Every structure is written in C-alpha cells, then in structure tokens.
Amino acid sequence: MTTAKTNPVSRFFSGVARSISFATQADRLANTPDHVFQARGTTRQREIRNLLDRL
C-alpha cells in the first residue's frame, strides 16, 4: 500500500490546492488599493516579489 506522500492522486490534489492558494493570494494583491501598501510601508511590486519567492 502506498502512503499519502507517494499516492499520485493525493499529490495531484495537493498541487491543485497550492495552485489555488497562490492564485487567490495573487488576486488579493492585485485588487488591494495602493493606500494599503503605503500604510504597510511597502509596494505592490515588493509584495508580489515576496509571493513569488515563496514558490
């Protein structure tokens, strides 16, 4: 019997979940107003770079 880590179906759904999570975070960043980034002391581009670095 295979474990969850080696089960292809489990790996597939885990990858799908990670993709959806990444897309959701990217969408939130894209739709966040600029004044929110200014209040945080950062920029949209910096936050997008941080998100991409987590891949």
**pLDDT, average across residues 13-40:** 94
Range of the domain at 23: 9-53
CA atoms in the 13 A half-sphere facing the CB of 45: 0
Q: How confident is the model at residue 3 (pLDDT cuts 50, 70, 90)?
A: low
pLDDT for position 52: 93
Tokens of 53: 């670095």
- Rounded CA separation 34/31 (Å): 9
Residue 24 resides in a domain: yes
How many domains is the chain partitioned into structurally?
1
H-assigned helices in the chain = 8-31, 34-40, 44-53
Residue 2 resides in a domain: no
Residue 3 resides in a domain: no
Examine the pLDDT at 4 and tell me if it is beyond 70: no
Examine the pLDDT at 5 and tell me if it is beyond 90: no
**pLDDT, average across residues 26-45:** 95
The percent of residues above 70 in pLDDT, for the chain, comes to 91
Report the mean per-residue pLDDT for the chain: 90
